Amino acid sequence: MTALQLLRFQMRELFEPASVAVIGASQESNKVGHIILRNIIESGFRGPLHPVNPRYQEILGLKCYPTVTDVPDEVEMAVVVVPAKFVLQVMEDCGRKGVKAAIVISAGFKEVGKEGAELESRLGEIAQRYGIRVLGPNCLGLVNTHHHMNATFAKESPKQGNIAISSQSGAICVVILDWAASINIGFSKFISVGNKVDLDEGQLLEFLRDDPYTKVIGMYIEGTDRGREFLHQAEMTSRVKPIIALKAGRTSSGAKAASSHTGAMSGSDRVYDAAMRQAGVVRVKNIEEMFDLLQAFSTMPLPQGEGVAIVTNAGGLGVMAADACSDHGLALASFEPATVEELRSKLPPAASLYNPIDVVGDADSQRYDQAIRTVMKDPNVSCVVALLAPTDLVDISSVAETLTAFAGSSPKPIVTSFVGGKEMAGPIEMLKTAGIPNYPSPDRGIYALAAMIEHRRNMDRAEQAVIRRLETDQDMVSDVLRKVRAEGRLQLSEAEGKRILKAYGISTPQEGVAKDLPAALALAQEIGYPVVMKVESPDIAHKTDVGGVVLDIDSPEELERSYEVMLSQVRERLPRARVTGVSVQRMIRGREVIVGMVRDEQFGPVITFGLGGIFVEIMKDVTQGIAPLDNAEAERMVRSIRAYPMLTGARGRRPGDIKALVDVIMRTSQLAMEFPEIEELEMNPVMVGDEGTGVTAVDALVTIRGERQ
Amino acid sequence: MTALQLLRFQMRELFEPASVAVIGASQESNKVGHIILRNIIESGFRGPLHPVNPRYQEILGLKCYPTVTDVPDEVEMAVVVVPAKFVLQVMEDCGRKGVKAAIVISAGFKEVGKEGAELESRLGEIAQRYGIRVLGPNCLGLVNTHHHMNATFAKESPKQGNIAISSQSGAICVVILDWAASINIGFSKFISVGNKVDLDEGQLLEFLRDDPYTKVIGMYIEGTDRGREFLHQAEMTSRVKPIIALKAGRTSSGAKAASSHTGAMSGSDRVYDAAMRQAGVVRVKNIEEMFDLLQAFSTMPLPQGEGVAIVTNAGGLGVMAADACSDHGLALASFEPATVEELRSKLPPAASLYNPIDVVGDADSQRYDQAIRTVMKDPNVSCVVALLAPTDLVDISSVAETLTAFAGSSPKPIVTSFVGGKEMAGPIEMLKTAGIPNYPSPDRGIYALAAMIEHRRNMDRAEQAVIRRLETDQDMVSDVLRKVRAEGRLQLSEAEGKRILKAYGISTPQEGVAKDLPAALALAQEIGYPVVMKVESPDIAHKTDVGGVVLDIDSPEELERSYEVMLSQVRERLPRARVTGVSVQRMIRGREVIVGMVRDEQFGPVITFGLGGIFVEIMKDVTQGIAPLDNAEAERMVRSIRAYPMLTGARGRRPGDIKALVDVIMRTSQLAMEFPEIEELEMNPVMVGDEGTGVTAVDALVTIRGERQ
């Protein structure tokens, strides 16, 4: 598959083919091969279109050919709907014909088990050999509304719009199309990716990034094979336009269903979460949230600030919206005095002039209009949500009509929540037709605004993000790893691990080994008290258990005393252990944290950070980031754990050296990037000293990759 | 208000009046006084109905009287719609007329400020004097569909059904009515409670509990004044029928909007949460969740077990539902072998026979029917969710029609999620008309099932809950408190606090005071080492800060040494402090926890539990319960903190004495109930020893209530 992955060509031929063949076209109107042909015709495709099927002379008024090679003209793109067993032959034909791109609709590949997987891999080989770009197999097809091409077998034909959809499930495609048909939402591209033998989400993002017709991208993902490439493309794309992603199989029971469904391996969900957040992808939890966000991003400009203004004719709805703001970490805008004065002059005395603005149950459309226009002018307001309850005095349609004026023209986004049922249907239709996103409950409107604000923040952050390479001694690391490999080991000793850390500028405690008491005293003098003393023995694995570790030795006298006690304890408990001396280490004080790295199958090096001990083990208070990390992301990791106040000086302690800690995380990230053979790394504990005094890794566990078949 | 609160009468006259007067009725069709009269007529009210207004002779064909006292017949219930300033006079008239119940629609009371609040309090006095039951003021009115009485001014007239609604916001009433009108949902009672001068949610629950027409109760609450009574009634009611409550003003910004809206004080949300959970109330976060749950509880039987079966024609939807199950802590049912065999015989080879069951994209209604009937028989299945994507091959209406057969008859609940838009509208209408709750996304259907399962669990738990009074020495506590009060103090000393704990069977460390070293040595010998020694001085508040505390003294020698060092340190730092001796206390080892009690304005004594130190202060890992606690609730509190594994033997430690800890929490609860003058109590730390070794409160801080004006 690797060579195929390099293919960056023929996206144009796939999405905007000059000519198309439908291989497996049918005269029978309920067959997929008929529906696709008809959909292509009915969508207004302008180029030559050739049905291919040896059984027919003509379908839907078009001349039909026995094989694609029989088509006299050029065929840029082929839609393949033959049974799986004929697909390889058809692909060979396509290759010989010079077809540049193919949509393989046919099912019966990876999703049906081992045999199918083999067939799929041969399909990939043929495509690669001939250089054919392939979408699918096992997919619903592809729509490009601006090329007037609906090459799917869906009932609903999407209307033109600015949303691009990529979905790993054909059924979810159908769900989205049917949903879109019920409201005023249109699409630029609609892509069912199927089994992704060639084209996958990463490549699609690269293409959609520059697609002038696409304003927002929605993705349904069950699993990714090339996670890092996906992330890279997502990161580049989210700086330009929003990506809303629904990743199903989030949880263990969901993941089970996902793998029996498409055979996709679901990565660990926490890693997915970290990956998507870093890539600036807006991750939604369910399909309704996906719909909610697509509507807002598709129709509205991004908010340029933070504050939300709420306008309501019912206090209760205002309270709900305010609750939702708080849930999503949004601030209710504080209005300028001039705004409050203007509201006072325009609204009746019973109105509440502060956020949420209650225009009161008898509000008419003019009152809504005035309130909204007034707060829109306030510099502290970045977006508005207008709420309406069907009170007996309100003319709902008239309010809706007034609000439609804000569609398209308003520089600040506005969403509405007309809450109710029967009376609301007509007015809501008006709003949606005009392009004002309406939500059935206030919290969903607030959620949409929160996502837009978050996306705008991410774009700002992404603009500033730079990864500066830090000075390190790569040769030293290579030397250590070479020696370990030469000895046939995969596990580094603590000393080897620490040498690697030092080479990457991560402090470790000063230490040394002494063979007797006088040497230990001299060493401690050189290192400086307090020190830690540990027994040195090739026969003792768990030193603490046999009294072989003494912490916090403050003076030569204490060292002398501890030395005797320790050795006698060890001798008593393990009389046969060979004792070669003691190690003396600078005693490091500070707050214990853990910094680690593992390589995720999907996303590569994942950096983990958390407070040590119970915080990681019991409270599960850890955070992840995908390397390479920029400074902002490393800082975010440190700040995001619940126990963060422990590092900033809670309970009367001095603040810890956060800056040095962030530096250690960045250096760990760089090490992971520069030495892919390091499979796993854990520094536990890392001691964070007071501000300005640095951070020291007291222990290091490093594992390298074994040779793989 | 207290006497009014005792009124338990005249609910019948309010909800099922034999005769009604509308005071402030109007001939003008857009006036509230007209709409209410018309709604009562149009809803088919069968008793005598009298408009009252001095300006008219007749309204809507009914004879109109100048005042209610002019009505020749008896008037059981009055609807009052006159302006606020006339309400007191009208209530006096009602009193003299012998009216038993009144709905005061009029606004202009507590919600508009201090003057209104005074008016409202006088309204309450008049009602109390005459013994009139009052709903309102400032409300939308009341509907009793089974009495054919719609005494509201809402546009929509609710149809008959089994849902009772109580709402503190008139606008939310209107929202619910409008929503209900758009689907097949009906109501038994519909109550807008307004400012609650008399009738409040507690009393309504007491009434609705026995109402044979009500199957489920939905409440919108902004604030409660008599929280404990509400809780008590909710607890009694939730054993009989579900209560779904939306409490707005959850968060600080929401609470601000709530208090400016109705003047209601919002209690701390965490306390609300604990209170509702204990009372068996299903708390929803937003109005959509409220609608979702009302539908399910209204139409479906409760699940009798735990396992969920998922049937879908689209793998992607199945994954989403499985994700949602995991989010809500629900288990996918494991099918019996016989179930799998039966599914195998009935479904095509491509189908997935394990949960989620994928009946595949070309499934027809028969296949859905067979799959559902098969899993319904499985003893591990307690409920079913049927999912449908509008694939090109499915006849959606036919599947919907088949599913309607499960409405009303199925002993196990079934919910559906037909996901899409345009194609779904008709079939979804069919489902709803038949009484099958359908949800626009799978997770919302799973949420409804999860709430039903949780409610059933709560009912089981409630049946077993008994609070057994523990043996305590109340006289001793009374003695201590009497002495403290006599000395004009509100704060108890540590020793006094510990005496109270001892009286309630809570262990405290053995301790005593010694005036010199020999006495201290003797005392320590008596108590047994290890001990803690603290300086005794009336002049030293923070003993630790001046070196006045030594922990973990193991022997007489160490005590002697520590004694000298401690006293010299204290003398050095506070030369003028009078030192009267030292206290010697048994040194207690174990895991530090905190048990405390504060009195909430709404709900009374709230017991708090958490692990000590950083766990409470930084991780905010605490839980609350409202006293009196039963054993199950006290256990739940202990189990519910995130750090619970710290108490059960994580990290190689022996398990802690959870049983003794639960006992301490129960005793604290009992103390709070039996001594209402104790305002606040904190035991910090409480040391939890290893299993079987008990739990000891090392420190106790007790505050009693001051005399109040």
Strand partners, B192: B167
User: Residue B648 burial (CB < 10 Å; 0-12/13-18/19+)?
Assistant: middle
Return residues 573-602 of A near B (CB < 8 Å). none
Q: Is residue B623 helix, strand or coil?
A: strand
Does the pTM surpass 0.80? The reply is yes
A620 Rama class: left (phi>0) / alpha (psi -120 to 50) / beta? left
Of B319, B421, B617, the CB nearest to A222: B319
What is the pLDDT at residue B2? 41
Q: Which structure tokens are listed for B625?
A: 């319960």
For the segment A256-301, what is each residue's pLDDT rounded down to a tens digit?
555 554 444 445 788 889 999 999 999 999 999 999 999 999 999 9
pLDDT of B6 reads 43
Is the separation of the CB atoms in A78 and A20 below 8 Å?
yes
Interface subset of A 266-305, CB within 8 angstroms of B: 285-288
Residues of B in contact with A643 (CB under 8 A): 614, 618-619
B541: tokens are 């508040």
Of the two residues B493 and A538, the one the predictor is more confident about is B493
Q: What CATH number is given to the structural domain containing B246?
A: 3.40.50.261
| Residue B259 confidence class, pLDDT cut points 50, 70, 90 | low
Write out the two tokens for B590.
Answer: 């174990």
A157 close to A174: Cβ distance less than 8 angstroms: no
Write out the two tokens for B377: 């028989």
Q: Inter-chain contact A313–B171, Cβ cutoff 8 Å?
A: yes
Q: Nearest CB to A254: which of B169, B323, B390?
A: B323
A25 in contact with chain B, both atoms CB, cutoff 8 A: no
Residues 6+ apart with CB under 8 A from A96: A69, A130
pLDDT value of position A8? 55
Q: What's residue A7's pLDDT?
A: 44
Nearest to A258 among B260, B319, B332 (CB): B319
- For the sheet with A133-135, list strands across it: A49-52, A20-23, A77-80, A101-104, A133-135
Would the CB atoms of B153 and A390 count as touching at under 8 Å? no
Same domain (yes/no): A604, A566: no
What is the reported pLDDT for B5? 43
A539, A559, A587 — which closes off a domain? A587
B108–A contact, CB cutoff 8 A: no
Q: Confirm whether A663 is domain-assigned.
A: yes
The answer to whether residues B211 and B277 belong to one domain is yes
Question: Per residue in A33-64, pLDDT tens?
Answer: 999 999 999 999 999 999 999 999 999 999 99
A583 has pLDDT over 60: yes
Tokens at B605, concatenated: 């004594």
CB-based burial of residue A246 (10 Å sphere; 0-12 exposed, 13-18 middle, 19+ buried)?
A: buried
Q: Look at residue A542 in the predicted model and tell me its pLDDT.
A: 74
Burial of B434 (0-12, 13-18, 19+ CB in 10 A): middle
Confidence of residue A254 (pLDDT cuts 50, 70, 90): low
Question: What pLDDT does B254 receive?
Answer: 57
Residue A57 in domain: yes
Q: Do B419 and A287 touch (CB under 8 A)?
A: yes
Domain boundary among A436, A464, A492: A464
CATH number, domain with residue B692: 3.30.470.20
Confidence of residue A225 (pLDDT cuts 50, 70, 90): confident
Run of H or E residues at B557: helix B556-573
The answer to whether residue A504 is domain-embedded is no
The pLDDT score that the predictor gives to residue B157 is 86
Angle at B682 (CA atoms; ends B681, B686), nearest 5 degrees:
140
Tens-place pLDDT, residues B188-233: 999 999 999 999 999 999 999 999 999 999 999 988 888 899 999 9
Cα(A140)–Cα(A193) distance, integer angstroms: 8
Q: Above pLDDT 90, what percent of chain A?
A: 75
Asked if A252 lies within 8 A of B326 by C-beta distance, the reply is yes
3 state DSSP class of A315? helix
- What are the structure tokens assigned to B445, written together? 């259907």
**What span, in angstroms and rounded, lies between the C-alpha atoms of A267 and A262?**
14
CB within 8 Å: B175 and A651: no
**What's the pLDDT tens digit per position in B323-348?**
999 999 999 999 999 999 999 999 99
Q: What is the CATH number of the domain that holds A542?
A: 3.30.1490.20
Would you say residue B267 has pLDDT above 80? no
Closest CA to A641 of A590, A681, A680, A593: A593
For residues B523 and B551, state if they share a domain: yes
Q: Are residues B372 and B452 in the same domain?
A: yes
Taking every pair of Cα atoms in chain B, the longest distance, rounded to a whole number of angstroms, is 103
Q: Are residues A568 and A614 in the same domain?
A: no
How much is the mean pLDDT over chain A?
91
**B465: pLDDT confidence band, cut at 50, 70 and 90?**
confident
Residue B227: give the domain boundaries. 154-284
Number of domains into which chain A is organized: 4
- Looking at the domain assignment, is residue B149 inside a domain? no
Contacts of the segment B85-89: beta carbons below 8 A, 24+ positions apart: B85/B119, B86/B24, B87/B119, B87/B123, B87/B137, B88/B119, B88/B122, B88/B123, B88/B126
DSSP state of B50: E
Same domain, B383 and B458: yes
**Scanning the structure block, which residue is given the tokens 């408990």?**
A573
Verify cis geometry, omega within 30 degrees of 0, for the bond prior to A605.
Answer: no
Same domain, A536 and A668: no
Which CATH number covers residue A24? 3.40.50.720
* pLDDT > 70 fraction of chain A, expressed in percent and rounded: 96
pLDDT at A113: 85
Query: Which residue in A175, A417, A615 has the most chain B C-beta atoms within 10 A of its own C-beta, making it the best mutation to test that interface?
Result: A175
A277 to chain B nearest CA, in Å? Answer: 20
The least confident of A18-22, A259-263, A587-591, B657-661 is: A259-263
| Same domain (yes/no): B525, B654 | no
For B276-295, write each residue's pLDDT tens digit.
Answer: 999 999 999 999 999 999 99
Instruction: State pLDDT tens for residues B131-184.
Output: 999 999 999 999 999 999 999 998 888 999 999 999 999 889 999 999 998 887
Is the pLDDT at B316 greater than 70? The verdict is: yes
Sheet holding B20-23, edge to edge: B49-52, B20-23, B77-80, B101-104, B133-135
**Which of A642-656, B23-37, B574-588 has the highest mean predicted lDDT (pLDDT)?**
B23-37
Q: B96, B114, B138: which is the final residue of a domain?
A: B138
Asked if the structure places residue B219 within a domain, the reply is yes
My answer on whether A234 and A126 are in the same domain is: yes
Task: List, for residues B580-591, the tens digit of each pLDDT value.
Answer: 899 999 999 889
Regarding whether B367 and B475 lie in a shared domain, the answer is no
A262: in domain = no
Same structural domain, A215 and A137: yes
B225 and B348 in a single domain? The answer is no
For residue A285, list chain B residues with Cβ-Cβ distance below 8 A.
327, 443
Residue A80 lies in a domain: yes
**A279 within domain boundaries:** no
- Dihedral pair phi/psi, residue B561, rounded to 5°: -60, -50
Find the helix or strand (DSSP H, E) in which B303 lies: none
